[in-house]
A = this chain, B = another copy of it.
Amino acid sequence: MINKLVAKIKKTGAPVVVGLDPMLDYVPEHILKKSFEKYGETLEGAGDAIFEFNKGIIDATYDLIPAVKPQIAMYEQFGIPGMVAFKRTVDYAKSKDLVVIGDVKRGDIGSTSAAYATAHLGGVNIGLHNFKGFDEDFATVNPYLGTDGIKPFIEVCKEENKGLFILVKTSNPSSGEFQDQLIDGKPLYEKVAEKVAEWGEAHMGDDYSYVGAVVGATYPEVGKVLREVMPKAYILVPGYGAQGGTADGLKPYFNEDGLGAIVNSSRGIICAYKNEKYEKFGEQNYADASRAAVIDMIEDLQF
């Protein structure tokens, strides 16, 4: 799957992932109306509207981009119908040959991590059949519990040819509270990055490892160091646009081959129609606004 991701990035020339992190107030009125007519003003109605919203964006952008990243929290808040919308989104994106990064940030002790890995990347045996739970291509994982919280994910990835992005340095303002603390003169995130490099050796693709890392766009100097600590790890970079990261600051996250990083934008793409720059499209054509925003982002990232 890392090989597929790299191939698709090369083919599209777009080191870009669209974050499908919908809030209900992002969804245009005409979609809400239709879903609420079908299911009422209920969790089911909200879940359906969110899926239809995503579907519009996928249809308008799938030829331009290698991957999407649905943030499961945004679905989970709508309970079971939200999880149904998540699963429908994963399946629909895959039907368009997009790589799907499940932004789930799971992580626990060994046996529990194994269950999460099964849920998002593997399958369970029931009777004579194997059933897939959510079946994303990649999952994001939290490293706080150490190697035995990560290993079960890697085991499942090996079986299924899937991959991980492990949180190393996040893009939020207080990420430094623990992640920047110095241990023997090195920040914790660098210790985690060293482990990511080590874990990644156990599951290599052609040029990059199946085990990647999350490093926020808001720290170019950190990106530079971590690029060197994890030369074979693909770096998933959140925080571009809305969170303040700029294209110039992203260069250090890439290798000299122009690969090695994939930049996420969520609100900047999926809410483009609410942005002055793209408001000419109008709410009805929100997906065309998203397409225009993707094209601009790809251009912005041509170094």
Question: A residues touching B (Cβ–Cβ < 8 Å)?
Answer: 21, 24, 36, 41-43, 45-46, 71, 73-74, 76-80, 82-84, 87, 105-110, 112-113, 115-116, 118-120, 124, 126-129, 131-134, 142-149, 167, 170-179, 181-184, 188, 191-192, 195, 238
Contact = CB atoms under 8 A, between A and B. Distances in A.
Contacts of A21: 112
A125 B2 CA distance: 39
Contacts of A192: 178
Contacts of A175: 145-146
A181 B178 contact: no
Nearest to A176: B146
Contacts of A84: 80
A9 B46 CA distance: 39
B87 A143 contact: no
20 contacts: A21-B112, A43-B126, A43-B131, A46-B126, A74-B112, A77-B118, A79-B119, A79-B132, A79-B133, A82-B119, A83-B83, A105-B106, A105-B107, A107-B142, A144-B167, A145-B174, A146-B174, A148-B174, A149-B172, A183-B183
A106 to B, nearest CB: 7
Contacts of A149: 172, 174
A267 to B, nearest CB: 9
Contacts of A191: 178, 181
- Among A73, A110, A195, max chain B CB count under 10 A is at A73
Given A124-B24, A126-B45, A131-B43, A188 B178 contact: yes
A76 B128 contact: no
Given A46-B124, A79-B119, A144-B167, 13 more contacts: A24-B126, A36-B127, A73-B112, A73-B113, A76-B133, A78-B119, A78-B131, A80-B87, A144-B144, A144-B178, A145-B167, A146-B177, A183-B188
A119 B167 contact: no
Contacts of A105: 106-108, 142
A41 B45 CA distance: 30
Nearest to A74: B115
Contacts of A41: 126-129
A200 B149 CA distance: 27
Contacts of A238: 109
Given A36-B127, A124-B46, A134 B173 contact: no
Nearest to A144: B144
Contact of A77 (B79, B119, B176): B119
Contact of A116 (B36, B77, B120, B127): B77
A110 B43 contact: no
